[in-house]
Chains A and B, each alone.
Chain A
């Protein structure tokens, strides 16, 4: 058996396509993720997304291999051998699948090896790896079945392009919040950034694994049903595989059909696999710097902490120690809506995830926005429109921090009038000690909206 498999592996055309598949891997999210911040969730997701380039080729190659005997018109000759056509064909399928799995394993090992050196929190998603491996097995099995059943000149291209189309249409369906799209292994519905803060669980992966396993069983099983496939036991095995495969795939579709998908928010809820649709936060110990008001980030974003703290420092040095000012700034996704709360008071800010994920420095507009949100949350009450005095102080503090007197990032409707800008300039021009003394005495009243422009220094 091993010698036949070795022979098939040597004759297989997959090794010729491995450089092409490596090139496609580089163009896929896999290649791009290597330049981004090393987050396990994002890298695991990128590995799974790379299947878009691998799976159609595996299906096409499997169809090509399976149709080889038909194309070579050697079927009659092979019918005289002791083994039935089903068992004979399985060696070719196994060889194709093993080459694909070997390529995938090497790609996963390289990606995870590099990630392990750089990542500062978490671990790989083995569920995503399993989905990838089973996807290769499934597309290879489907290609093998089509190659055996329709061994014509068109079977390889039609299988490869048809597989590609099936994957992409599944992803399109998924992006339109249709739950049946969840069985597609690419176009993940879960936001990898969100997966750093909230438990996502393997529900989507389980549905995909069930569906793919079912399709694999049907593809291999139907080939054992004809009389020429083998003896009685082969046909019985084929019947059992086909029945079990249909049942498993239907179960996966049933599980997916009950799901609630919200691709825009990057969340799904599968009632039969998950107990509650409510977000379950992941418990973690944030890492903080030693700024006057320490800035804290998720440990996965530890590499960005210095940049975040540097971006906030021009404002935190002005506000540190003031009554009502926060004693810690926690950057987390969807933090509590009350900006400054708790004992000691903590201010929650949304982290600049886009820049962090892309490995870009947090400066310019991103840094200015962080400072703006910080000042706004300290100076204004939550949910209220800033008063003229609050706007002037916000603009003044930001001007001292080196930002342009730009109201675009402030939560105001329209441009503030000239008197606000003039008051802001006056506030910024005041000596630092005078500003700090005034803020210490009036921050509470300013925050409550009881001050006017005339009350400013």
Chain B
């Protein structure tokens, strides 16, 4: 049995994770942010929530891309799987970061690009950890619940580290939490993969 060429293996893995539709969806959320940016110049809880929801959309999509349509059989097919899973998630996160950075550039997004990218990283980490705990298809529920709590935190003026997405601008603690969540999510998904493969 001959080995699959590396590039073809990567392409097949990306196709099995529906990465292209995922990137289209990420682009749609970034476009939504860009289109609504001119309404976000007024300070307020609602205007601060809009960018967070758009990055939530990207994070939720990235979490669902970890679903494996091949089931347990995939695990027996070779030892490249952790690297492929890591590379796939990293590719989608990096693309999302570039797309959202471009969408926020020169617009009135509250908190600016720094806050947006931190929120993207942290929420993606939560989505990946949820995929490992609950399953890839259910991974969007936890980030959605957390974002709803953060939306309320915007309204009540909470700025605790428990609701780190509410912090804007350069904030070392919030950045550390977001980076930690992303690193943990990436590590767990790469090594273990999502919890189940139910249709």
Contacts and interface: CB of A to CB of B under 8 A. Distances in A.
Interface of A: 17, 20, 23-24, 27-28, 32, 52-53, 56-57, 60, 71-73, 152-154, 156-158, 160-162, 164-165, 168-169, 171-173, 175-176, 187
13 contacts: A24-B148, A32-B156, A57-B144, A153-B136, A153-B137, A157-B61, A157-B139, A161-B57, A168-B151, A169-B50, A172-B40, A172-B50, A173-B39
Contact of A156 (B47, B53, B137): B137
A172 B53 CA distance: 13
Given A165-B54, A176-B39, A152 B44 contact: no
Contacts of B44: 172, 175
A30 B60 CA distance: 27
A173 B50 CA distance: 11
B136 to A, nearest CB: 8
Contacts of A160: 60, 140, 144
B64 A153 contact: yes
A56 B144 contact: yes
A122 B50 CA distance: 36
Given A27-B148, A71-B199, A158-B57, A168 B140 contact: no
Contacts of B151: 52, 168
A160 B141 CA distance: 9
Which 4 A/B pairs are nearest by Cβ-Cβ distance?
A157-B140, A157-B60, A161-B57, A71-B199
A175 B45 CA distance: 11
A52 B150 CA distance: 12
Contacts, number: 97
A169 B137 contact: no
Contact of B46 (A71, A72, A171): A171
Contact of B64 (A154, A164, A187): A154
B25 A158 contact: yes
Contacts of B67: 153
Contacts of B47: 172, 175
B63 to A, nearest CB: 8
A163 to B, nearest CB: 10
Interface of B: 18, 21-22, 25, 29, 32, 36, 39-40, 42, 44, 46-47, 49-50, 53-54, 56-57, 60-61, 63-64, 67, 136-137, 139-141, 144-145, 147-149, 151-152, 156, 199
Given A161-B53, A161-B144, A172 B149 contact: no
Nearest to B32: A165
A160 B143 CA distance: 11
Nearest to A57: B144
Contacts of A23: 145
Contact of A175 (B29, B46, B156): B46
Contacts of B139: 157
Given A152-B21, A157-B60, A157-B64, A168 B144 contact: no
Contacts of A158: 25, 57, 60-61
B53 A165 contact: yes
A56 B145 CA distance: 10
A153 B56 CA distance: 16
B148 A154 contact: no
B36 A169 contact: yes
A161 B56 contact: yes
Contact of B152 (A28, A72, A175): A28
A56 B146 CA distance: 13
Nearest to B62: A157
A57 B67 CA distance: 21
B57 A17 contact: no
Contacts of A169: 36, 39, 50
A132 to B, nearest CB: 16
Contacts of A53: 148
Contacts of B57: 157-158, 161-162, 165
Q: In this complex, which of A17, A27, A28, A56 has the most chain B Cβ atoms within 10 angstroms of its Cβ?
A: A27
